Amino acid sequence: MISESTHPNVYDQFRADGYIIIRNFIAGGDIAEMQTQTRTVYQLGISHPTTYRHGNLLYEILPQEHFGDRYLVQAHWASWASTYFEEFRRRPEFLSVLNPLIGNNIKQVTQQIHWKPPGAQLTGYRFHQDLRFRESREQYNDIIADTVQIAVAVDRSTAENGCLQIIPRSHTNGYLNLSEDGKTIMTGLTGDDELTAVGLDPKSIVNLELEPGDAAIWNLLTVHGSLPNYSQNDRALMISSYVRGETSNRGEWAFRNGTSTSIGEKPEICKFEALHENPEPHYIDSKWFLGAANGY
């Protein structure tokens, strides 16, 4: 287990660089089950013809009509479809890492699985800061200081299959309005000129290559993105966002006074205010992917 007292340099690095890598975050014996359960969620999601939402649960589908086959690229809040992922999100490993940063009363704002299926074309993410995705920021006392982003590698994550890329110390530059030109962060790629225009050096980009079970954590202002999957192997990555429970009116409880806490009977608002406007099961007929650059 990691703690500030036993690994102070890890947290110093996090505060200085805006990210850290934690090797063997999930023990080797649990990795196979994690991979199996992730494949199960993929099969649940891909059974839908197009993007599907039910409360916080969301399956982002690239439809066959436009991509020659149907691909699932994201699942949000699989906890509402999978007992395994409901329990996974509040494993003691998360509390061990989070406690020195945001205490032991912790809510979860996002739970995502990202896939990069070979052949899906749209598998890159433009460089961005996660603060852009936080609606109703007034619902947090100090949204930046009280939020920690954690990614857990399900598959081996390499430069070839589109691993996470980070720009160290970019969190010290404030909010930079990257990738806010009307496109989604999954359409097109960030040009070097876009980074230099906001004072970032493209040569400083770091590839976060991870083995299954490794984790990376970063700040809401840390600039990050990823290239498309150029390999023949899928790349699944779990991304979660946790906040200090005492200072946030958003999120599902994960830990109360250090005790693992399950989600309730009804979903809490996590990020999107529209959740309570239409919480019932429905399909989303969005064509956000049209007009994307070819040649991914």
Residue 289 forms part of a structural domain: no
Number of domains in the chain: 1
Chain segment 43-77, per-residue pLDDT in tens: 999 999 999 999 999 999 999 988 889 999 999 99
Residue 279 forms part of a structural domain: no
Report the pLDDT value the prediction gives residue 268, as an integer from 0 to 100.
Answer: 85
Report the pLDDT value the prediction gives residue 243, as an integer from 0 to 100.
Answer: 97
Residue 64 forms part of a structural domain: yes
Residue 290 has pLDDT above 90, yes or no: no
Residue 146 forms part of a structural domain: yes
Average pLDDT over residues 3-30: 83
Q: Name the more confident of 273 and 17.
A: 17
Sorted by sequence, the CB contacts under 8 Å of residue 269 that are 6+ apart come out as 250, 275, 276
In angstroms, the Cα distances linking 73 to 51, 62, 294 are 10, 7, 17
Whether pTM > 0.85 for this model: the answer is yes
How much of the chain, in percent, has pLDDT values that exceed 90?
76
pLDDT band with cut points at 50, 70 and 90 for residue 182: low
Residue 223 to residue 28: CA distance in whole angstroms: 30
Report the pLDDT value the prediction gives residue 289, as an integer from 0 to 100.
Answer: 84
Query: Are the C-beta atoms of residues 240 and 53 closer than 8 Å to each other?
Result: no
Sorted by sequence, the CB contacts under 8 Å of residue 229 that are 6+ apart come out as 116, 117, 118, 120, 123, 160, 161, 162, 235
Q: Name the more confident of 80 and 296.
A: 80
Residue 219 forms part of a structural domain: yes
Residue 296 has pLDDT above 50, yes or no: no
Out of 73-87, 180-194, 202-216, which region has the weakest mean confidence (pLDDT)? 180-194
Residue 147 to residue 129: CA distance in whole angstroms: 13
Q: Which residues pair with 241 in a beta bridge?
A: 110, 149
Average pLDDT over residues 222-236: 96
Report the pLDDT value the prediction gives residue 86, as an integer from 0 to 100.
Answer: 98
Chain segment 19-52, per-residue pLDDT in tens: 999 999 999 899 999 999 999 999 999 999 999 9
Residue 291 forms part of a structural domain: no
Helix (H) or strand (E) holding 14: helix 8-17
Average pLDDT over residues 159-168: 97
Report the pLDDT value the prediction gives residue 2, as an integer from 0 to 100.
Answer: 46
Report the pLDDT value the prediction gives residue 25, as an integer from 0 to 100.
Answer: 96
pLDDT band with cut points at 50, 70 and 90 for residue 278: confident
Residue 295 forms part of a structural domain: no
Q: Name the more confident of 194 and 137.
A: 194
Query: Are the C-beta atoms of residues 240 and 111 closer than 8 Å to each other?
Result: yes
Residue 7 has pLDDT above 70, yes or no: no
Residue 63 forms part of a structural domain: yes
CATH at residue 13: 2.60.120.620
Owning domain of residue 167: 8-274
Chain segment 93-147, per-residue pLDDT in tens: 999 999 999 999 999 999 999 999 998 988 999 999 999 988 788 889 999 999 9
Nearest to 51 by CA among 39, 62, 41, 42: 62
SS3 125: strand
DSSP E strands, the chain: 19-22, 52-54, 57-62, 71-76, 106-114, 125-128, 147-153, 164-166, 206-207, 215-218, 224-226, 237-244, 252-256, 259-260, 282-283
